[in-house]
Chains A and B, each alone.
Chain A
Amino acid sequence: MISDTSIGMEPPILSARKLRYDYGNGKGIANLDLEVFSAEVLAVVGESGSGKTTLLKCLSTHLTPQSGSLSYRSGKGEPLDILQLSTAAKRELLRTDWGFVHQHPHLGLRMRVSAGANVGERLMANAWRHYGDIRSETGRWLDMVEVDPSRIDEAPSLFSGGMQQRLQIARNLVTRPRLVFMDEPTGGLDVSVQAKLLDLLRRLVFDLDLALVLVTHDLAVARMLADRMIVMREGEIIESGLTDQILDDPQHPYSQLLVASMLAA
């Protein structure tokens, strides 16, 4: 199914084999094979209910698949069997090597503490104990995501939707993760804000050599960011390949329908 002619010879950073998650009513994902390579952006597209988010949750350990295997190659090059890891090890992975950006910023941010504390939390969770250092690193990251560092002490609720999403991204990137999952990061934002955020994401991914798994129903987002994409329908991957290849020459009838329904820019 997967046409992995893409990207160099390096082994994948994340690979899933025969992943299955059934919500108990036949819905979910079934026998899914997937590979993510370092420093690539993989878009997962498909209609609502196609299993995109379920896949993302399985990959990021928020859901435990009922069968299949999931392997992550750590920074030291050793493969980790994610499904066999202890809760402690999974959570450590999630707050150091990985990141997860939710569609709704309030799911990923602590709304009752300041922007700076939100971004600095991962540092403190990783045993940073010098206030001045945390403060300057946090300021640097606010700058990186184009939030005015002078707003460091403001509550996230005072930020606009797009700015909150930037905060959430900074909060995840501050520990320099190697793999980031994003669930519709631009959903619910107006078009101009969306465009700016996409520009930022593209730059960050390029600058930081991030592997990014991006769930979206917006093909334009995929076109702009993704190197590769997979198209999902009813819990299965129906087509995968290079983004341009799929968008310009979709093979599966459903992909053709999706592409045909994309609004012309």
Chain B
Amino acid sequence: METGYNFAYLDEQSKRMIRRCLLKAVAIPGYQVPFGGREMPMPYGWGTGGMQVTAALIGKEDYLKVIDQGADDTTNAVSIRAFFENVAGVKTTTRTTEATLIQTRHRIPEIPVKAGQILVFQVPIPEPLRFIEPRETETRTMHALSEYGIMHVKLYEDIARYGHVATTYAYPVKVNGRYVMDPSPIPKFDNPKLHQSPALMVFGAGREKRLYAIPPYTDVESLDFEDFPFEPQRWEGCCALCGATGSFLDEIIIDDRGRRRYQCSDTDYCLQQQNRETSEKVEHTPSQGDPG
């Protein structure tokens, strides 16, 4: 395909720069590495950080999956997937098990990721301490000296106000017993999946030009209090489409009398579940990447 662009959009020197930063990020789990963020043909906030990481990592043989809040078919996911189909000509997929590279906006797939896969997260605000301490000079010193008392101040505020830790996404974690990290706005339901994950997880913040990473098989601990231990979300219902109970469920209001139902946020997982139930029926899969 002749697009006039270098493979995966970025020039080779930029990709090398990002890879060097990624090596550093992997070497110091949870540490925010500054990188020379490039302009991407998309606005900040749409995943420019994740795209640059993906561009630096992707090879011709890779299978790319892009999800947005768990779904393969929402605007952000569709555009980024189409972007890499155009500028890298790589194969794309919606199957978690098939993908070698998964760029994600705010979810970790329900099907456990495997060794060899890489997850790329889009990060809006990389600094977890900023909520309490707005000075960047001060938060950097705090990271350097492992002074993380104020992270508990945030959790304290939650309990004082709501009676429980009301932070449900971007729930702070401590990586490898050292750095406190914002796992990007994934629901805290996904936090346990970060711990000892066999896949490499890389986080890219385009606006703030920072990268950080969790290497495979790293300890990741969600912060909590002894008397208010960390607890992921739970739902009373199950998925209305596939009947799953152990997945992250989106709540959908279905009429103006407040009736609601739940549905898996991970569309691929939901489809797999439905297919398994109705395995006698013919294959029913979503559009697999670019038909052309």
Contacts and interface: CB of A to CB of B under 8 A. Distances in A.
A77 interface: no
Contacts of B226: 129-131
Contacts of A91: 141, 145, 147
Main secondary structure of the interface of A (DSSP, over half): helix
A120 B161 contact: no
Contacts of A220: none
Contact of B145 (A87, A113, A127, A131): A87
B255 interface: no
Interface residues of B, number: 17
B156 interface: yes
Contacts, number: 56
Nearest to B155: A131
Interface residues of A, number: 25
Contact of A121 (B150, B159, B161): B150
A110 to B, nearest CB: 7
B159 A131 contact: yes
A211 interface: no
Nearest to A113: B157
B153 A120 contact: yes
Interface string A85-127: 0011001000100000000000000101110110011101111
A130 B226 CA distance: 5
A134 interface: yes
Name which of B145, B149, B156 has the most chain A CB atoms within 10 A of its CB: B156
B160 interface: yes
B133 to A, nearest CB: 8
Nearest to A125: B149
Given A88-B145, A110-B132, A153-B161, A129 B225 contact: yes
B228 interface: yes
B236 interface: no
Given A117-B157, A131-B225, A131-B228, 17 more contacts: A87-B141, A91-B141, A110-B132, A110-B153, A112-B132, A113-B132, A114-B161, A116-B160, A117-B153, A121-B150, A124-B149, A124-B150, A124-B156, A129-B225, A131-B226, A135-B160, A153-B160
